[in-house]
Amino acid sequence: MKNSNKPAAATSDIHQEETPQVCSYEGSDYQEVFWDTGERRYEDAVEEVALKRLMPKQGKLLLELGAGAGRNTPRYAGWERVVLLDYSRTQLLQARERLGDSSRYVYVTADIYKLPFVGGLFDGATMIRTLHHLSDANSALANVRRVLGEDAVFVLEFANKRNLKAIARYLLGKQKWNPFTKEQVEFVALNYNFHPKTVRKLLKENQFALKKQLTVSHFRINALKRRVKHEVLVALDSLFQHTGGIIQLSPSVFTKSVAVGSGQKPEGDAFFACPICDTSLPEARENQTCPGCGHLWAYEDGIYEFRINPES
Ligand SMILES: C[S@@+](CC[C@H](N)C(=O)[O-])C[C@H]1O[C@@H](n2cnc3c(N)ncnc32)[C@H](O)[C@@H]1O
């Protein structure tokens, strides 16, 4: 794979102790190699089905966390505005190239562990294939909850450690880690699979009320994908997705939750919040110096820079 597509670890010098390591996709050809070749047409299609089922058809301001190159963004067409947030500037440059510049899209490079928005700003959020890279899921979910308004919808996808393949491999002695235990498993550096019960617990502890669970990608097996017609596999997966309400044994699980409990409400035209000192900042579409700490936050190529110590 070009650039090996294996994201490297990026650490922030300033906030090294405070925020966990980020799995960097800077310069990665993830979209091109993982999705655009068509090899994962099945996974892409069944994720589309799940999103259609879980996302409100319409809404005002949506936050797409770990948006990458914007693969899913067109699926949120009924939302008035979408903020695409990713730690990787090169992923967002690709997203911008695909989606274009308009007042509908806001591109932001930032760390999910340090979200640069005022509290209660968003009416909805999605996080697809991204929890997978977060070592501290609890801190990430607390950050997400802070920037959501009351009753905001949160669609979270996670990689399920208790999936049938992992269970079979464990029982046959081909895999050391136990798929039934509650702790997350880091099977490759900065790549984590989670137990569904743990994710449900974390959602609850962070003021999210779980509304629905769909199991997705039941037939993620190359031999099956090669032999069975794409449309048939997608239709079967669509049917099986509903079993997620009873038990989760697929490699990917989609959850829909609603933000509950009280939280902050944004004031005036405040949109961003300095990730260093928390001072409110407007959506300026230009460089701005934080009046609180004096940090210069850049706006370049249509992308807001809010990483504290960017690698590029
Ligand atoms: C596997 S990709 C998924 C992209 C997109 N959601 C999709 O499904 O096509 C994971 C994305 O999460 C981003 N990411 C990982 N850790 C992050 C963090 N701490 N803050 C912001 N983005 C992060 C990566 O840069 C990458 O673009």
Do 208 and 260 contact (CB within 8 A), yes or no? Answer: yes
Q: Which residues 6+ apart lie within 8 Å of 33 measured at CB?
A: 1, 2, 5
According to the model, what pLDDT value does residue 312 have?
54
CA–CA separation, 125 and 85 (whole Å): 11
Query: Residue 18: inside a domain, yes or no?
Result: yes
Length of the chain (residues):
312
112 lines ligand 1 (CB under 6 A): yes
Q: What distance in angstroms lies between residue 129's CA and the mean position of ligand 1's atoms?
A: 7
Q: What distance in angstroms lies between residue 27's CA and the mean position of ligand 1's atoms?
A: 13
Q: What's the CATH code of the domain at 201?
A: 3.40.50.150
According to the model, what pLDDT value does residue 268 have?
87
Query: What is 49-112 written as a DSSP string?
Result: HHHHHHS-S-EEEEEEET-TTTSSGGGGTTEEEEEEEES-HHHHHHHHHHH---TTEEEEE--G
Host domain of residue 194: 2-305
Q: Whose CA is nearest to atom 14 of ligand 1?
A: 66
Residue ranges in the chain modelled with pLDDT below 70: 1-17, 312
Query: Residue 7: inside a domain, yes or no?
Result: yes
Query: Residue 311: inside a domain, yes or no?
Result: no
Query: Residue 11: inside a domain, yes or no?
Result: yes
According to the model, what pLDDT value does residue 262 have?
85
CA–CA separation, 207 and 263 (whole Å): 10
According to the model, what pLDDT value does residue 1 have?
30
Q: What distance in angstroms lies between residue 133's CA and the mean position of ligand 1's atoms?
A: 7
The number of folded domains in the chain is 1
User: Crossing angle, helix 137-147 and helix 196-205, to 10 degrees?
Assistant: 40
Query: Residue 310: inside a domain, yes or no?
Result: no
The reported pTM is: 0.94
